Amino acid sequence: MSKRYTMKARRALTAVAITTGLVFTVAGCGGDDGGGDDAKASESSPAKNDKSDKPKEEPEAPAESEVLAEVKGGQNITLSFNSVVRDEGGFLTVTGKVKNDGSARWIAGDWRGDEKELQRNAASMAGATLVDKAGKKRYFVLRDTEGRCLCTKFTPLNSGEERTWYAQFPAPPDTATNVTFQIADMPPAELEISEGE
């Protein structure tokens, strides 16, 4: 019996010794022989250095800064247009900037429009319209159920100040690719429609 137990013990010790040897062998393979993680790090390090050594390219200007059209009107106001996008929900959103190039403070009082419903939209883009010449239709700024326009309301602009603005309209038919924007005494602006994502 003691011989059998001795044989079993030897086999167990041999198995443990072989397993331990294998573990050390596998661990040794991942050691620092120049082909491990340090080699990977040294391979990636030059790439990082190459990027920092190269002159940085200028990023593309965001779409908001692209000027599609610009008009100048009474009181030396400049109205620029940055996007005219047809949205999936059947809307057309126009965005841009307004700048006071005059010497006096400017209030957009007459930009709200003449309709009685728009009187509560003082100093806003509520009086803006879009004209689809091909379809012979005029579109007014959208309003909520309380008569507030879906557009920017301005605070007074001091001389040299500039503000961003937006106005939403019902979208003309898909066949319409151009519209004319009109507001107050500003000259009309011809705009090309782009499709939203």
Q: Quick check: 81 and 67 in contact, CB under 8 A?
A: yes
- By CB atoms closer than 10 A (0-12, 13-18, 19+), residue 190 is middle
Q: Quick check: 136 and 129 in contact, CB under 8 A?
A: no
Q: What is the pLDDT of residues 89-126, one digit of tens each?
A: 899 999 999 999 999 999 887 888 777 776 677 788 98
Q: How many CB atoms sit inside 10 A of residue 172's CB?
A: 20
Could you tell me the mean pLDDT of each successive run of 10 residues in the chain, 197 residues long?
Answer: 48 50 47 49 45 43 72 91 92 95 88 74 88 94 88 91 95 93 93 85
DSSP three-state, residue 31? coil
